[in-house]
Structure 1
Amino acid sequence: MPIRQLPETLINQIAAGEVVERPASVVKELVENALDAGAHRIEIELQDGGTRLIRVRDDGGGIPADELPLAIQRHATSKIASLEDLEAVGTLGFRGEALPSIASVSRFSLGSLHRDATHGAELVVDGGRVGEVVPKAHPRGTTVEVRDLFFNTPARRKFLRAERTELGHIEEWLRSLALARPDIELRLSHNGKPSRRYRGEANDAGLFAQGRLQETLGAEFLAHALHMEHEAGGITVSGWIADPTYNRASADQQYVYVNGRSIRDRTIAHGVKQAYADVLYHGRQPAYVLFLTLDPRRVDVNVHPAKHEVRFRDSRLIHDAVYHAVAATLAEARAGREALSSATEEHRPFPFQVDASMQSFSQNGLGLRVAEQSANAWQSLYATTADTATQSMMPAEEAGEIPPLGYAVAQLHGIYILAQARDGLIVVDMHAAHERIGYERLKTAHDGLGLRTQPLLVPITVAVAEREAEVAEQESATLQALGFELTRSGLGSVTIRSVPALLANGDSESLVRDVLADLREHGSSRRVAETRDELLSTMACHGAVRANRRLTIPEMNALLRDMEATERSGQCNHGRPTWTHFSVADIDRWFLRGR
Structure 2
Amino acid sequence: MPVCLLPPVVVDRIAAGEVVERPASVVKELVENALDAGASRIEVIVDGGGRRLIRVGDDGAGMTPADLELAVERHATSKLTAESDLLAISSLGFRGEALPSIGSVARLLITSRTSGGEAHAIEVVAGNKSGLRPAALSAGTRVEVRDLFFATPARLKFLKTERAETAAAVDVVKRLAMSRPDIAFTVVADERDPVSYAARGTGVEARLARVGDILGPDFRANAVPVLAEKDGVGLAGVAGLPAVARGNALAQYLFVNGRPVKDKLLIGALRAAYADLVPSGRFAAAALWIELDPREVDVNVHPAKTEVRFRDAGLVRGLMVSALRAALGGESHRSAASPRPVDSLRPISAPRPTGIAGWRADVSPAAPPGFAEARQASFAAFAPSADARADAAPPLAEPASHPLGAARAQLHSTYIVAETAEGLVIVDQHAAHERLVYERLKRQLAGGGIARQMLLVPAVVEFDPDDAARLAARADALATFGLVLESFGPGAVMVREVPALLGETDVVKLVRDLADHLAEWDDALPLERRLLHVAATMACHGSVRAGRRLRPEEMNALLREMEATPNAGQCNHGRPTYVALSLAEIERLFGRR
Instruction: State if a TM-score over 0.5 links the two structures.
Output: yes
Rate the CA distance shift 1:325–1:193 in 2: closer, same or farther, 3 A: closer
Helix, strand or coil at the partner of 1:63: coil
What's the counterpart of residue 73 of structure 1?
A: 73
Q: 5+ residue gaps in structure 2?
A: 338-360, 368-409, 415-546, 550-574, 576-593
What's the counterpart of residue 147 of structure 1?
A: 146
Opposite residue 90 of structure 2, the aligned amino acid is: G
Helix, strand or coil at the partner of 1:245: helix
**Cα distance in 1 for residues equivalent to 2:250 and 2:109:** 34
Rate the CA distance shift 1:337–1:287 in 2: closer, same or farther, 3 A: closer
Rate the CA distance shift 1:186–1:253 in 2: closer, same or farther, 3 A: same
**Cα distance in 1 for residues equivalent to 2:229 and 2:36:** 27
What's the counterpart of residue 275 of structure 1?
A: 273
Helix, strand or coil at the partner of 1:80: coil
Opposite residue 41 of structure 1, the aligned amino acid is: R
1:119 CA drift (Å): 1.0
Equivalence map 1:521-532=2 (5 Å)? none
Equivalence map 1:375-386=2 (5 Å)? none
* 1:37 paired to 2:29: no
Contact 1:262 1:308 in 2 (8 A): yes
Equivalence map 1:213-362=2 (5 Å)? 213-335=211-333
Helix, strand or coil at the partner of 2:173: helix
Contact 1:104 1:126 in 2 (8 A): yes
* Cα deviation digits, residues 544-586 of structure 1 (max 9, x gap): xx999xxxxxxxxxxxxxxxxxxxxxxxxx9xxxxxxxxxxxx
* 1:175 paired to 2:174: yes
Rate the CA distance shift 1:337–1:224 in 2: closer, same or farther, 3 A: closer
Rate the CA distance shift 1:23–1:213 in 2: closer, same or farther, 3 A: same
What's the counterpart of residue 94 of structure 1?
A: 94
Rate the CA distance shift 1:336–1:133 in 2: closer, same or farther, 3 A: closer
Rate the CA distance shift 1:411–1:242 in 2: closer, same or farther, 3 A: farther
Contact 2:244 2:336 in 1 (8 A): no
* 1:85 paired to 2:85: yes
Opposite residue 264 of structure 2, the aligned amino acid is: R
Contact 1:61 1:141 in 2 (8 A): yes
**Cα distance in 2 for residues equivalent to 1:170 and 1:412:** 54
Opposite residue 3 of structure 1, the aligned amino acid is: V
Comparing 191-200 and 71-80, the one that deviates more: 191-200
1:326 CA drift (Å): 0.5
Contact 2:22 2:159 in 1 (8 A): yes
Rate the CA distance shift 1:246–1:430 in 2: closer, same or farther, 3 A: farther
Contact 1:431 1:547 in 2 (8 A): no
What's the counterpart of residue 157 of structure 2?
A: 158
**Cα distance in 2 for residues equivalent to 1:283 and 1:260:** 29
Helix, strand or coil at the partner of 1:104: helix
Helix, strand or coil at the partner of 2:158: coil
Rate the CA distance shift 1:68–1:40 in 2: closer, same or farther, 3 A: same
**Cα distance in 1 for residues equivalent to 2:311 and 2:334:** 41
Residue-pair matches, total: 356
Rate the CA distance shift 1:153–1:329 in 2: closer, same or farther, 3 A: same
1:193 CA drift (Å): 6.2
**Cα distance in 2 for residues equivalent to 1:190 and 1:265:** 27
Helix, strand or coil at the partner of 2:327: helix
TM-score by length of 1: 0.56
1:270 CA drift (Å): 1.8
Rate the CA distance shift 1:317–1:432 in 2: closer, same or farther, 3 A: farther
What's the counterpart of residue 444 of structure 1?
A: none
**Cα distance in 2 for residues equivalent to 1:413 and 1:40:** 59
* Cα deviation digits, residues 186-236 of structure 1 (max 9, x gap): 112234764321111122433442x32222112221111111111111111
Equivalence map 1:406-485=2 (5 Å)? 409-410=362-363, 412-413=365-366
Rate the CA distance shift 1:207–1:432 in 2: closer, same or farther, 3 A: farther
1:46 CA drift (Å): 2.2
What's the counterpart of residue 470 of structure 2?
A: none
Rate the CA distance shift 1:432–1:94 in 2: closer, same or farther, 3 A: farther
Helix, strand or coil at the partner of 2:44: strand
Rate the CA distance shift 1:6–1:287 in 2: closer, same or farther, 3 A: same
1:7 CA drift (Å): 0.4
Opposite residue 29 of structure 1, the aligned amino acid is: E
TM-score by length of 2: 0.57
Opposite residue 157 of structure 1, the aligned amino acid is: L
Helix, strand or coil at the partner of 2:244: coil
1:84 CA drift (Å): 4.5
* Cα deviation digits, residues 48-95 of structure 1 (max 9, x gap): 121111111100000111111210111111111146531111110000
Equivalence map 1:504-583=2 (5 Å)? none
**Cα distance in 2 for residues equivalent to 1:293 and 1:141:** 29
What's the counterpart of residue 475 of structure 2?
A: none
Helix, strand or coil at the partner of 2:239: strand
What's the counterpart of residue 579 of structure 1?
A: none
1:284 CA drift (Å): 1.8
Opposite residue 236 of structure 1, the aligned amino acid is: G
Rate the CA distance shift 1:278–1:15 in 2: closer, same or farther, 3 A: same
What's the counterpart of residue 128 of structure 2?
A: 129
Opposite residue 269 of structure 1, the aligned amino acid is: I
1:166 CA drift (Å): 1.1
Comparing 150-159 and 77-86, the one that deviates more: 77-86
**Cα distance in 1 for residues equivalent to 2:200 and 2:14:** 40
